[in-house]
Amino acid sequence: MKNRILDHFGLKVLSLIIAIVIWVIVANVDDYTTTKQISGIEIEFINGDAITEKNKVYEVPEGTVIDIIVKGRRSIVEKLTNEDFKAVADLSKMSITNAVAVNVSAVSSRIDKELTISYTNNAVNIAVEEKLQKQLPITVRTSSEVADGYAIRNKTASPNLITVEGAESVVNTIEEVVVDVDVNGASESLSAYAAPVFLDKNGNEIDSSKFDYDVKEVEVSVEVLKTKELTVRVKTQGEPKKGYAVASINYQPTSILVVGEAADLAKVDEVVIDDIDVTDCSKDLETPITLADYLPSGITLAEDTQEVMVKVAIEEIEEKTLVISGDEINIVGKSGELNYEFKDNISYILKVRGLRENLDNLKVTNLIPSIDVSGYDVGTYKFSVNFKEIKGIEILDNIEAELEITQVQ
């Protein structure tokens, strides 16, 4: 047996060596060295506090990935994907030009030793800015319309302030912060929760992912109450300068829409502005009046109009002379048994005073001159002539008319 094993021993060893060599050759041919491009390896940025500790913020380019070429044995390389690699950019080692180097390695240290990794874009430029913190009020913005006969009296947000922090160039574009609530058809007060919306000076929405803010949800309350239209009246107080008078009072609006509880609305029908002081005025007076100052408790304005614009026209008083004949004087209380005749058909001079617009069209007939002869018998008498009172007209003269009363023949 031993002889059989030892027979041709050298030949057998040679055969074994040849077999091993052939296996190595075949193995090397089958598992040759190859290369492969692997794309889309996401870059991880570390040590960002090296920037933020300096009161700065940074922004990496969107979709920051790197492509590599790996070289190694086919059996290893052909199975590799981008998930088998990690790309790291250390922000603490950023250059003065804000560029940071990217280091790529295999996740498995065993595989990493088997590969040669190469890539051309081995640095990423980082945007670095000063950090800015800004506090802004939160405004409630409603959409749609409440039910007919109702209006919004008050809108509140809780909290009503929000703190924003981020890159100076971004934060400075924030002009307004609003929360939106839909009030379509509302006939009672409502509340809701809404996320803040950030707007620039043109009213365009700003992407809130570009900065940090401390309020993610805002409680909104909208007070919806009934409305009522009220008449506006304006009156003056005091007297203009001697020789002048109030010619007219013009104002807008002449009515306003208010909002309040039904019980409060039932108590009011008009708004009276009665303290327009014209004391010693000799020229027109124009003044804005704040409506809210004249509204009763529990009532507020339901529209944007906040003021009444008042113009008081002040004009100089003028005089006018009228001639009155006896035929124009009415005789009151006459008896059918007596005749009445004015003595000598005398005409009477009457001076009146007032504003030009009142005097221009004033006639004797407007004043309805009259005397009362009730109880008078035959004889000649002097009677004081009475005149109808006309607003804006002052009678300056006291006229006496002589009347002869005779018996009817």
Which CATH number goes with the domain that contains 55? 2.170.120.30
Beta bridge partners of 273: 234
193 pLDDT above the threshold of 70 = yes
What average pLDDT does the segment 377-384 reach?
A: 93
- Summarised one tens digit per residue, pLDDT across range 242-264 is 999 999 999 999 999 999 999 99
Beta bridge partners of 379: 405
CATH number at residue 204: 2.170.120.40
Helices marked H in 74-116: 74-77, 109-114
Within a domain: residue 311? yes
pLDDT of residue 377: 92
36 pLDDT above the threshold of 50 = yes
2 pLDDT above the threshold of 80 = no
SS3 233: strand
The structure tokens listed for 353 are 């005073």
Within a domain: residue 10? no
For a pLDDT cut of 90, what percent of the chain falls above it? Answer: 80
Is the same domain home to 262 and 199? no
- Summarised one tens digit per residue, pLDDT across range 144-160 is 999 999 999 999 999 99
> Of 125, 157, 173, at which residue does a domain stop?
125
Q: How far is CA 136 from the centre of its chain?
A: 14
Could you tell me the residue range of the domain that residue 155 belongs to? 130-225
pLDDT of residue 27: 46
7 pLDDT above the threshold of 80 = no
pLDDT of residue 32: 80
Alpha-carbon distance of 108 to 86, in angstroms, equals 10
Within a domain: residue 20? no
Query: Is pTM beyond 0.75 here?
Result: no
218 pLDDT above the threshold of 80 = yes
**DSSP letter for each residue of 111-179:** HHHH-EEE-S--EEE-EEEEEEEEEEEEEEEEES---TTEEEEEEEEES-EEEEEEEHHHHTT--EEEE
The residue whose two tokens read 């909208």 is 222
Domain tally for the chain?
4
Given strand 85-90, what is the order of strands in its sheet? 116-118, 65-73, 33-46, 85-90, 99-106, 123-125
Q: Please check whether residue 277 is in contact with residue 235, taking contact to mean a CB–CB distance below 8 angstroms.
A: no
**What is the average pLDDT value for the chain, to the nearest integer?**
90
274 pLDDT above the threshold of 60 = yes
- Give the model's confidence band at 6: pLDDT under 50 very low, under 70 low, under 90 confident, else very high: low
Alpha-carbon distance of 126 to 91, in angstroms, equals 9
Is the same domain home to 346 and 373? yes
pLDDT of residue 409: 76
pLDDT of residue 20: 60
- Give the model's confidence band at 172: pLDDT under 50 very low, under 70 low, under 90 confident, else very high: very high
Is the same domain home to 283 and 294? yes
With a CB cutoff of 8 Å and minimum separation 6, the contacts of 100 are 45, 89, 90, 91, 93, 94, 123, 124, 126
Residue 271: how many CB atoms within 10 A of its CB?
20
> Of 183, 207, 225, at which residue does a domain stop?
225
For a pLDDT cut of 70, what percent of the chain falls above it? Answer: 92
- Give the model's confidence band at 291: pLDDT under 50 very low, under 70 low, under 90 confident, else very high: very high
Nearest of 316, 292, 295 to residue 304 by alpha carbon: 292
Do the strands 65-73 and 116-118 form a parallel or antiparallel pair, or are they unpaired? antiparallel
